[in-house]
Amino acid sequence: MLPALTTAIRAAKPDVVVVSGDLTQRARRAEFAAARRYLDELPSPQIVVPGNHDVPMHDVLSRWLSPLAKYRRYISGDIEPFYVDAEIAVLGVNTARSNVIKGGRVNRDQVAQSCARFETAGNDVTRVIVTHHPFDLPENDDGSVVGRADMAMAGFAGCRVDMILSGHRHVSHRSASATRYRIAGYSALMVQAGTATSSRRRGELNSYNLIRIERPSIVIDTMTWNETAGGFALAGSEEFRLTPEGWSRAAG
């Protein structure tokens, strides 16, 4: 599956590759080394953020004193990377924490710093946040959104974040933020990724999202693993458009 994924991503010629966390299962050195080798095969630039599985679970001392030391050594010293060009600005925000096993959190300083970094982007640039833990969930998902989500969304509305990409739940999901967060005149596009390579699936085939931004339109293609063909194929597309009230599903 990995070679097929590499081939598909290279063929798409993306402007930026986003990996929304959980590069490892138990934050072991060998797992991080393998993840690093694979990332080196993918196109650059890349926006990669850690997930809760990238924080040691059984090594209690490391979990509390240096939770992301191996991540920083093998993946990147920058756990909140930033990419900007003439059309998009993509910022990683670390939600992985030591004091919880599965959950995550975003704090007020991170929101303020995120908005400050977006100040370097022009008014017509599409602003994208990348986190591991989601800000929204499908209706039948009994999980939790990231901690301090209401505070963060209010802040992101103030600096006009257009889209939030996340992972964690291993289930694909797209929505407009106005469904969950009632903020006047604001609605961001929420995109939750499935799992591209993990065998820990939750009723879905392995998949990844190919996002095409042509403001005021965003089209999300879900690329799903096809065992018979030995590759990834288009499983469905959704279009969202920017309105005076923010992003919403395109009519029809």
Residue 62: which pLDDT band, with cuts at 50, 70 and 90?
Answer: confident
Q: Tell me: pLDDT of 63 over 80.
A: no
129-188 pLDDT tens trace: 999 999 999 888 878 999 999 999 999 999 999 999 999 988 899 999 999 999 999 999
- Establish if 231 belongs to a structural domain: no
Q: What confidence score (pLDDT) does residue 64 get?
A: 72
Residue among 34, 6, 18, 1 at smallest CA distance from 164 = 18
> How many domains are contained in the chain?
1
CATH number at residue 158: 3.60.21.10
In a domain, 243, yes or no: no
Q: What is the pLDDT of residue 156?
A: 98
Euclidean distance between CA atoms 94 and 77, whole angstroms: 12
Q: Checking DSSP bridges between strand 173-176 and strand 217-226, what pairing results, if any?
A: unpaired
- Quote the domain boundaries for residue 94: 2-198
Residues 89 and 252: their CA atoms lie apart, in Å, by 29
Q: CB count, 10 Å around CB of 214?
A: 9
Structure confidence by residue, pLDDT tens digits, 105-117: 999 999 999 999 9
Residue 242 domain-assigned?
no
pLDDT (tens digit per residue) in 21-59: 999 999 999 999 999 999 999 999 999 999 999 999 777
Residue 215 within a domain: no
DSSP 196: S
Residue 89 lies in a domain: yes
Measured distance CA(250)–CA(106) in Å, rounded: 30
